[in-house]
């Protein structure tokens, strides 16, 4: 089975590196974009010959095109380029999660996402039971959900 392709979209280099490390360690291929506009370009390029992405991990607050705008643009593209979207942001109000859902996101996590939270959510969205089991064993969640 080919490893899932994940596009990490965030303007902060340290967050991109953190997410790519965690997701890469889970066995998935990762690519990155520094804002929503670059992400749209990568999605369109992938649809033009490369294998499309299987998951998008997207920040909200970014220059040029924010995360909500990216998700709205993504959902306007052909079905072949559709994949689940996990929004990960410092914005922690209920309204932020609702706006993400209305834009077309599948879930919403608040930064900083714990390793287990990020990897287990990605595994769930990808339908990757093996990665979920490995993530649960490697990063036990103590104290339940936040």
Residue 28's nearest CA partner among 43, 12, 7, 52 is 7
How many Å apart are CA 10 and CA 26, to the nearest integer?
A: 20
- β-sheet bridge partners, residue 5: 29
How many Å apart are CA 51 and CA 113, to the nearest integer?
A: 27
State the sign of the Cα–Cα–Cα–Cα dihedral 125, 126, 129, 134: negative
| 65-76 pLDDT tens trace | 999 999 999 999
- pTM of the predicted structure, to 2 decimals: 0.89
Residue 53: CB partners within 8 Å, gap ≥ 6? 5, 6, 7, 31, 42, 43, 46, 81, 83
- Tell me the pLDDT of the chain (146 aa) as tens digits: 578 999 999 999 999 999 999 999 999 999 999 999 999 999 998 876 678 899 999 999 999 999 999 999 999 988 767 899 999 999 888 899 999 999 999 999 999 889 889 999 999 999 988 877 777 777 565 544 44
């Amino acid at each position: 089975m080919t490893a899932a392709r994940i596009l990490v979209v965030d303007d902060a280099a340290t967050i991109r590196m953190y997410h790519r490390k965690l997701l890469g360690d889970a066995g998935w291929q990762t690519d990155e974009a520094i804002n929503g506009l670059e992400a749209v370009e990568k999605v369109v390029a992938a649809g033009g010959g490369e294998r499309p992405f299987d998951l998008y991990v997207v920040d909200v607050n970014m220059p040029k095109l924010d995360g909500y705008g990216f998700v709205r643009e993504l959902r306007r593209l052909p079905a072949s380029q559709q994949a689940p979207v996990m929004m990960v942001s410092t914005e922690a109000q209920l309204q932020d999660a609702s706006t993400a859902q209305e834009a077309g996101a599948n879930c919403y996590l608040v930064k900083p996402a714990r390793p287990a939270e990020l990897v287990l959510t990605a595994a769930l969205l990808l339908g990757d039971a093996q990665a979920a089991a490995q993530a649960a064993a490697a990063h036990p969640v103590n104290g339940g959900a936040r």
